[in-house]
Every structure is written in C-alpha cells, then in structure tokens.
Amino acid sequence: MRKIFTSLSTLLLLAIALQFFLAGMGAFDSAGRDESFVPHRALGYGILLFAVVLTLLAAAARLPGRLIGRTGLVAGLVLLQIVIAEVAGAIDDSGGTTSTTAKLVFGLHAINAIAIAITAGRVVAQARALKPGDEPGTTESRDRSARPSR
C-alpha cells in the first residue's frame, strides 16, 4: 500500500504543477477571464477530490499519523483555495475592472497555491521515506511491537 500511496501522491504533485501552468495560460489568454480559467478551475476541483481520496486512502492504509494529517492539510488548503477565489469573485462587482480589494484577495490565492505545492511535496518526500515496516499490520511492525522495550 505504501508504494501505491507514494505513486498517487506523486501524481497529485504533478497535477498541482499542471495547475500552475493552467493558471499562467489563463492569465495571459486574450479571452474573457471566466472563459480563460475554465481548465484551471476544473483541475482545481479534481485536485480537491483527489486530495480527499488520498487522505482517506492514507487513513485506511494506517500510514503514520503525520502523513495522514499532512495529506489532509493539502485537501484543506485546496478547499481554502476555492473559498479564496469565490470571495475574490464576490468582492469584484466593479463592472469589468477588478477592484483593489479583489486583487489583494486574489494575491492570497497565489500565496496559498505555493503553500499547497510545498505541502504536497512534503507528502511525497515523507511517503518515499517510509520503510516497509512503517505500516501497521506488516510482519516487521508486528515483530517490533512484540519486542520488549529497553
């Protein structure tokens, strides 16, 4: 299960990198803002779903608590990302030009994206560092728990 989780967490990190690419494409597209960011928005919802499923998989596999928590943090940050975008969109009712407040809120969207990427990278690093005996229910972990502590 450890290898599957590591592979899926790497795939999540790649999806996040693609998300940055799509944001850049949308920012420099000549079409309207709503139309330009459709792929970015769609992938964002997909990343949220994937991060939630990955968190549940980590919990079901009984991976270390910090790894489960950090994976859940990725999902939480992605959810916050959606909230930030919605709030900025709700503030921006200036009739075609973006208000200063909306720009500041969208700036938080960019900072949060960096936090998502860093956290997802740490999940991948932590998953790769897992040893076969780190999973509960494996022979190695049962053998270690049966030994008396010194």
Per-residue pLDDT tens over the stretch 56-86: 999 999 999 999 999 999 999 999 999 998 8
47 in a domain, yes or no?
Answer: yes
SS3 73: helix
Give the number of other Cβ atoms within 10 Å of residue 126's Cβ.
17
60 in a domain, yes or no?
Answer: yes
Q: What is the pLDDT of residue 144?
A: 47
pTM exceeds 0.85 for this model: no
Structure token digits, residue 132: 């076969």
Q: What is the pLDDT of residue 88?
A: 84
- Whether the per-residue pLDDT at 96 is higher than 60: the answer is no
Q: What is the pLDDT of residue 140?
A: 46
140 in a domain, yes or no?
Answer: no
Dist CA 49 CA 46 (whole Å)? 5
Q: How confident is the model at residue 143 (pLDDT cuts 50, 70, 90)?
A: very low
137 in a domain, yes or no?
Answer: no
Total domains in the chain come to 1
106 in a domain, yes or no?
Answer: yes
Position 63, amino acid: L
144 in a domain, yes or no?
Answer: no
- Whether the per-residue pLDDT at 109 is higher than 70: the answer is yes
Mean pLDDT along residues 89-96: 69
- Do 78 and 47 form a contact (C-beta atoms < 8 A)? yes
**Greatest C-alpha distance within the chain:** 71
145 in a domain, yes or no?
Answer: no
Q: Is 97 left (phi over 0), alpha (psi -120 to 50) or beta?
A: beta
Domain that holds residue 97: 2-132
